[in-house]
Amino acid sequence: MTVPFEGWLLLSAALFGIGLVGVFTRKNAIAMLVSVELMANAVNLNLVAFGFFRGDYTGQVMALFGVALTVAEVVVGLAIVILLHRTQKTIDVDRVTELSG
């Protein structure tokens, strides 16, 4: 049984929508980072689906570079969260007013 192309696009759109809602509704910095990761994975799923639809590996290669870029983004994001926790004693983004310590 194969999944039609539209099914992959709908799944990707649903994941991206869930991530977007998570970014706008969460106050915790880690939950916001997880939501951004969900959105990035939705984009990678889209790239792979379009590559499979075209019959080449271009989408998979682009998704691989996207995963590498996402890993770098996670490292920077977690460093900022650790800095927030050390200086402000909270990771609630509504309570944080400045990053200078």
pLDDT tens digit sequence for 79-94: 988 888 888 787 787 7
- pTM for this prediction: 0.83
Q: Which of 24-28, 53-57, 94-98 has the lowest mean pLDDT?
A: 94-98
Question: Across the chain, what does the average pLDDT equal?
Answer: 88
Q: In angstroms, how far is CA 68 from the centroid of its own chain?
A: 12
Pick the CATH number of 5-88 from 3.40.50.2300, 2.30.130.10, 3.40.50.300, 1.10.287.3510: 1.10.287.3510
CB 63, CB 79: distance < 8 Å? no
Reduced to 3 states (helix: H, G, I; strand: E, B; else coil), residue 27 is coil
pLDDT at position 63 is 94
